[in-house]
Structure 1
Amino acid sequence: MIQRTIARRVRGMDTADGAGVKLKRVIGQPALDMLDPFLLLDEFRSDQAGDYIEGFPDHPHRGFETVTYMLAGRMQHGDNQGNRGDLGPGSVQWMTAGSGLVHSEMPQQEAGLMWGFQLWVNLPAADKMTAPRYQDIPPGDIPVVQPAPGVTVRVIAGELEGVSGPVAGIATQPVYLDIALDAGAHYDLGLPVGHSAFAYVFDGTAARVAGESLARSELAVLSEGDTLSLAAAEATRVLVVAGRPLREPVARYGPFVMNTQAQIHEAIADFRAGKF
């Protein structure tokens, strides 16, 4: 076994997006611009309706994938092709924007806690202009594994203890795990060799990641290796995500992620011409 260690630490940065939704941006900020193939990680969490009620009205995407994981509250996805999807507690949407679409993500509540994550995953150059598609996954379709005493894992993508997550057909071969640790629990998690990986503590005060204390709202960029040690002195939850790095040029402009500036200009022109 080659133990992964914490190579870098990053704290979430308070910001706002969409029509003013308050959130913490963890990847995609000055301290961590990207972690190939991951372009962005946002955590949104508030029980104040004014922090989220305006949502994310119509906006375009091209060249990457968005992953929405809801912990509490309800959002509705809609796009310019007439697709609709409801996201409730525990559900996931893995959207491949591909060649382009215009969509919205709007709250379906006027009070209460809204909590979840959005992750952006890059697409390889060969797939950037693929047809858009959705994988809408209800909570009951996400397998739950208990690989060690006091450890409960929701397997969203990848494989754990012989159980595969419901997300399939993704070029970066992702692992996406929601790991709950009871007080005193310990687990050595296997991760694919060569995958970029991070751990993010999102509930509880802190967890021990790779033998070090990692605080709430703190992300650990992990070193190379095949095993990650996790432990907790008190009940906590940790997001562990890994993916195959693409090692390709990245050109970004807002909601467009391509390989060259010429492709960015083409995306803007196509959007303005109503071709998405």
Structure 2
Amino acid sequence: MQVISKLRAKAAQDGDGVNINRVADFNKVSLDPFLMLDEIKSNDSQDFIGGFPPHPHRGIETFTYILKGGFEHRDHMGNVRAIRAGDVQWMSTGSGVIHSEMPLSDATDGLHGFQIWLNMPAKDKMNPARYFDTTQHPSPVIEHKNGAKLIALAGQWQFADDVATVATNTHIKGLAGNAAIADLTLTANTKVAIDLSGYQSVNIYLYQGELKIESDFKTEIYTAGSMLTINPQVLAQFCGGNAGLGGLILAGTPINEPIVHMGPFVMNTQAEIEQAIDDYQQGRFGHL
């Protein structure tokens, strides 16, 4: 495995005082077609109890994955859904979405989850909004006898001589940038290889344990909170540390278009950002 670059998650707040760890790159340096990953991980409800009250988006896709706890999603399209551990939720916000995400009252054991932003090509940014989740179609899981497990959250994955494809009726196979997302977990010192050469851009976010990369000359160790950009043309050899490994693999095709970002809006020009703000203020996004 060849690591091209590394970003570290930084502590931040969003919503109504929710504490998060964030990796963001709105300059298309390394993550394209991905823009940002937020991780919420706490057993203290005060870190997330305020949730994310109603707010808008335009020009992005949001991809949410929950490991522990959950939240209730509501949006202006009329969708109301409890998203719990193991569930994935995807919104193609297109021309505009207003939604909220509030912690579930019966989720008392803390919250651990991720929201990932993907950029949308200019030609799609003003398409009608769409919403999907996997509450009725659980994500495919491939387990290897050596203690390696891969959960296919989006796209198609080849792993341990098996192929997993997210059910087509979830429509998550159509993420912007031909993106594919998987949750890889390894027990202590377990090794596994994944061929990612079909993608132009590959990153892995480490949320648990350690990743060891061994070569003839040295062993490099990367810890939780690291986002690694790796060379997809070099066979990816993943090895868990003494505490194992949990990581989200983010693969796709760079969109390579100009980005202008302001808060919840990601467009291609400043004029488009100003139009998004005006449309939201004038109520053209709808109401929640």
The alignment's TM-score, normalised by the length of structure 1, stands at 0.92
Which secondary structure does the structure 2 equivalent of 1:67 belong to? Answer: strand
State how many pairs are aligned: 271
**Displacement after TM superposition at 1:230 (Å):** 0.1
Tell me if 1:9 matches 2:3.
no
Contact 1:5 1:210 in 2 (8 A): no
Q: Which amino acid in structure 1 is aligned with residue 184 of structure 2?
A: I
The whole-number CA distance in structure 1 between the counterparts of 2:194 and 2:2 is 13
Tell me the percent identity.
36
Match of residue 212, structure 2, among 193, 198, 208: 208
Label 1:13 to 1:33 Cα distance change in 2 as closer, same or farther (>3 A). farther
Q: Which moved more, 1:63-72 or 1:153-162?
A: 153-162
**Displacement after TM superposition at 1:112 (Å):** 2.5
Which ranges of 4 or more aligned residues in structure 1 deviate by more than 4 Å?
none
Q: Which amino acid in structure 2 is aligned with residue 108 of structure 1?
A: L
**Displacement after TM superposition at 1:125 (Å):** 0.7
Tell me if 1:244 matches 2:241.
no
The whole-number CA distance in structure 2 between the counterparts of 1:15 and 1:157 is 27
Tell me if 1:108 matches 2:104.
yes
The whole-number CA distance in structure 1 between the counterparts of 2:44 and 2:53 is 19
Which secondary structure does the structure 2 equivalent of 1:168 belong to? Answer: helix
Which secondary structure does the structure 1 equivalent of 2:241 belong to? Answer: coil
Match of residue 226, structure 2, among 218, 225, 229: 218
Q: Deviations over 1:74-118 (max 9, x none)?
A: 101101232211110010001110010111000113743111001
Q: Which amino acid in structure 2 is aligned with residue 222 of structure 1?
A: I
Contact 2:33 2:176 in 1 (8 A): no
What residue in structure 2 maps to residue 163 of structure 1?
164
The whole-number CA distance in structure 1 between the counterparts of 2:46 and 2:63 is 24
Tell me if 1:199 matches 2:208.
no
**Displacement after TM superposition at 1:6 (Å):** 0.9
The whole-number CA distance in structure 1 between the counterparts of 2:63 and 2:3 is 24
Structure 1 unpaired stretches of 5+: none
Tell me if 1:117 matches 2:114.
yes
What residue in structure 2 maps to residue 68 of structure 1?
64
What residue in structure 1 maps to residue 138 of structure 2?
141
The whole-number CA distance in structure 1 between the counterparts of 2:136 and 2:189 is 27
Contact 2:208 2:247 in 1 (8 A): yes
What residue in structure 1 maps to residue 33 of structure 2?
37
Structure 2 unpaired stretches of 5+: none
Tell me if 1:47 matches 2:46.
no
Q: Deviations over 1:216-259 (max 9, x none)?
A: 11111223425311012332211111111000111111101111
The alignment's TM-score, normalised by the length of structure 2, stands at 0.88
Which secondary structure does the structure 1 equivalent of 2:178 belong to? Answer: coil
Which secondary structure does the structure 2 equivalent of 1:219 belong to? Answer: strand
The whole-number CA distance in structure 1 between the counterparts of 2:41 and 2:198 is 32
CA RMSD of aligned residues (A): 2.1
Q: Which moved more, 1:157-166 or 1:256-265?
A: 157-166
What residue in structure 1 maps to residue 238 of structure 2?
230
Give matches, 1:183-198, under 5 Å.
Answer: 183-198=188-203
Q: Deviations over 1:160-211 (max 9, x none)?
A: 232212322223111211111112311111114442211122122x122576
The whole-number CA distance in structure 2 between the counterparts of 1:95 and 1:192 is 27
The whole-number CA distance in structure 2 between the counterparts of 1:258 and 1:103 is 19
The whole-number CA distance in structure 2 between the counterparts of 1:104 and 1:248 is 29
Q: Which amino acid in structure 1 is aligned with residue 109 of structure 2?
A: G
